[in-house]
Structures are given as C-alpha cells and as structure tokens.
Amino acid sequence: MFGKLNLKRILYSNVTKLATGTLISQLINISFSPLLSRLFNPEDFGVSVFFQSISSILLAVCTLKLDSAIIVSKSEEKANKLVIISLFYTSLFAILMYFFMLVLNETGIHLFSSGSNILLITLLLLSILLGGSNSTFSNLANRKMDYRVMMWVPIINTLSATCLNIILGLAGITGYGLIYGLILGQLISTIVLMRIYRIPKIKPEIIKTTKEFSDFPLYQMPAILLNTISVQFPIFAFSYYFNDSVTGWYSMSQRVLLLPLTIIGSAVAQVYFRKAAILYNNNESLHSLTKKLLTNSFIIAFIPMLIILSAGDKIFGIVFGNEWVEAGNIARYLVPWFLMVFVASPLSNVLIVLKKQKQNLIMNVIMLFTRLIAISIGATIFTDYKSTILLFGIVGFFLWYIFSIYIANLTGIKVWVYLYKSIAFFTLLFVISYFFRIMLL
C-alpha cells in the first residue's frame, strides 16, 4: 500500500514539475504577445510561422526518431550510444538538407517567398541542428528522470527567445527578428543541456545500433511525420475551401483547446513514457499505471471541456472580442475530439514501450487519410464550414476513441470496463452541458 502511495506521489510530483515549466513558458509568450505584435508586423509573424512549420516537419525526421529509443533502452551503454547516433544523424540530415535546398534555390525553386532565401535556409540548418540536439538531450534527461532540468529547459528557451525579440524589435531590426529569437532560445537551452549531460566517449557502432533499433526509423519516424503533417493540414484545407476568417476561427479554437494538452498532457506523456519503460523492462504490468492515468485524465478534462461545450461562444466573445464568437462555436464542435486527444495522446508512447511502432504508423496513416476524406466530403457535399468542421471533429473523436480502446486493451484494461466508464463519462458531460446551455440562452 505504501509503495503504491509513494509511486502515486512521485508521478504527481514529476508531472507537476514538467507542467509548471510549460505553464511558465506559455505565460511568458502570452504576456509579451501584445508588445511583440506592435514591434513586428503581420508579415514578420507570417514568415516566422512558416519557418517554424517547415522546421517542425524536418525535426520530426532528423534523428530518425532514435532519440525516442534512448528512453526505452535497457542499458545505459546503449542509451549513450543512441545519444551519439542521434546527434550524428541530426548533423548529417541538416547538412544534406542545407545543400539540397541550396541546389533548389539555384534552380529557381525558392522555399521562402520573401527576403533572402540563403539566409533563411542557413537559419533552418541551425534550427534543425539545435532542435535535434535539444530533443536528444531532453530524452536523455527523461531517461534519468531529471524532471527539474526538463522543467527549466522550456522556460530558458522561451525567455531567451522573447528577450532577443524585444531587443531587436525596439532596435528596429524586424524582418527575421522573430526567427533570430527562436534560434537563440534553441541555442541557449541546448548549451544548458550539453553542459549537464556530457557526450560519452564510447564507440557508437552506428550501423549495428541502428539495426537493433530499426523499428524507430522504419515505423516511428514516418508515424511522427504523418502526425505532424496531419496537424498542419486543416489550416491549409480550410484556407483553400473557405476563407481566411474560417481559418482564423479554427486556429483560435484549436489554440485554446490545445492549452490543457500543451501544459498538462505533454508533462504526463513524458513521465508516463519513462515510468512505463521501467515497468516493462522489469517485466511488470502497465495495467495499474495506465488505468490511473486514464481515470485522472478524464477527471482533469471534465471541467474545462464542460465550460467550453456549454458556453464556448460567449466566453470567446468576452475574452477575445465579438469577432471571435464563431471561434467559440467551432471550439464547441471540437470538444469531444480534443478531449480524447488529451486522454489518449500521452498514452500513445506505450506503443513504443511495447515495440508496436508498426501499429502506431498504421494508425497515423488511417488518421491522415480519414481527415483528408472528412474535410473533402464536408467541403464538397455540405459546402459550408460548420458542417465540415463538425464532421471533421466527429471523425477525429471516433478515431482517438478507438485508439484509446486499443491502448487500454494492450495494457490489460478490459475493453467492456473502459467502454462502460467512458460512455458514462460522455453521457454525464453532454447532459450537464445541455442544461447549462439552456440556462445561458
């Protein structure tokens, strides 16, 4: 009994540390957004967002996802080898992409539509090098369960980037100033991690080790890449089928609904990943850990999702202005989907622990294509954005719900028990929100 209480206390403590780091970094972003929006114009933000989108896609593949293997490796020696190999592949990928983009630029194919393509390509090279290194050392920190270090890394990153952005903005150096801040944040946080975790002087055995963990580049890497693309896809699709207003409303609703996932979900995912790996390597069951996590995730999500479902349009109108009321309505449509993402996304790491990366890839392929089909059907048959987004949200909900059932079953949770409790949860959520909605009208 005392062992279970101690485990529960440790898990809560570790999640709290990581969530605190993410929360503080988000508060820094939110606090200085009004100032930055006056120092930099919309075009500057547009270039920065486009740069970060490309960078995030490339970062999904630069380590061949061998950095994730650091957490599940059974021995310290193999984990250290994976650190070196991940850094090697990051450097190799960044250099190859750099010259590839230079060749494209010389042939008249420009990756960036404005400004100096050579400079932006060089900055992209640095972003890949630093981002891949940061991810590698962060996973090493997770393996060692140094959650205090992991708490400070996003804070240092965001604070460094924001300070440089403000300095450059006040000095009138706009243009790529936001990107310079991004690079500085990555640089300082990576330096901090590298000073804490020295690169071990051992022979990495690149080919042998890569073959041993081949499921990561073969299945995990394309799965993460597809997931990254599918997250970015709706923005482009809504811009194509409808207009910028719909895209803006969807983006705002997504940003608000993702806050719990960003602050709490990412922390839970990192702690669960490492703890599940330890239990699995010790031939212990994941049932109790996963059951507690599922239960607590549903409980945590209930109140914020109930509020959005009941009064999303009114809340958005009060907080963001009357022009954002429709974003609140869209958020109401998407609540079931994002609730399941909040619950199931942290648990998806169990597929890595159980060496089922192939199934994870299959699931991401299914998710991408069903999202494509849902938006295409909604836009061409229903022809209005509300029906399209509602269909998109319903499809997303059922996909993540099925995914959560699969994960629960893998960890020994009985399917009928999970179905019974989850259906009861959603019934309660919708009934209460319905009555609250009537009271507010």
Cβ 242 vs Cβ 385: under 8 Å: yes
Tokens of 414: 């009985």
In the numeric block, which tokens belong to residue 113? Answer: 């539509």
Sign (positive or negative) of CA dihedral 304, 305, 307, 311: positive
Do 55 and 124 meet the contact criterion of CB atoms below 8 Å apart? yes
Both tokens assigned to 65: 């996802």
Number of C-beta neighbours around residue 17 at 10 A: 18
**Residue 105: pLDDT band by 50, 70, 90 thresholds?**
confident
Looking at the chain, the whole-number percentage of residues with pLDDT higher than 90 is 35
Residues with Cβ < 8 Å from 381, sequence gap 6 or more?
Answer: none
Length of the chain in residues, anyone?
441
Rounded Cα distance between 230 and 436, Å, is 34
pLDDT of residue 10: 62
| pLDDT tens by residue, 219-275 | 989 988 888 888 778 877 887 788 767 877 887 788 788 877 777 877 888 888 888
Name the pLDDT band for 128 (thresholds 50, 70, 90).
Answer: very high
- pLDDT of 3 over the 60 cut: no
Give residue-wise pLDDT tens across range 326-348: 888 999 999 999 999 988 888 88
Domain range annotation of the chain: 17-212, 214-441
> In angstroms, what CA-CA distances link 148 with 17, 88, 192, 199, 335?
6, 27, 13, 20, 32
CA distance 277 to 284: 10
* Selection from 305, 328, 333 nearest residue 317 by Cα: 328
Specify the pTM.
0.78
Cα–Cα distances in angstroms (integers) from residue 242 to residues 169, 334, 376, 387, 391, in the given order: 34, 18, 12, 12, 15
Beta strands in 188-288 (DSSP E): none
Which has the minimum average pLDDT: 23-32, 57-66, 336-345, 362-371?
23-32
Report how far apart, in Å, the C-alpha atoms of 152 and of each of 71, 73, 143, 192, 265 are: 19, 25, 16, 10, 17
| pLDDT, greater one: 116 or 409 | 409
DSSP state at residue 216: I
- pLDDT range class, residue 182, cuts 50, 70, 90: very high
| Distance (Å, whole) CA 39 – CA 35 | 6
Give, as one character, the DSSP assignment of residue 324.
G
Q: Which residue has the higher pLDDT, 13 or 387?
A: 387
CB atoms within 10 A of CB 108: 6
Percent of the chain with pLDDT strictly greater than 70: 95
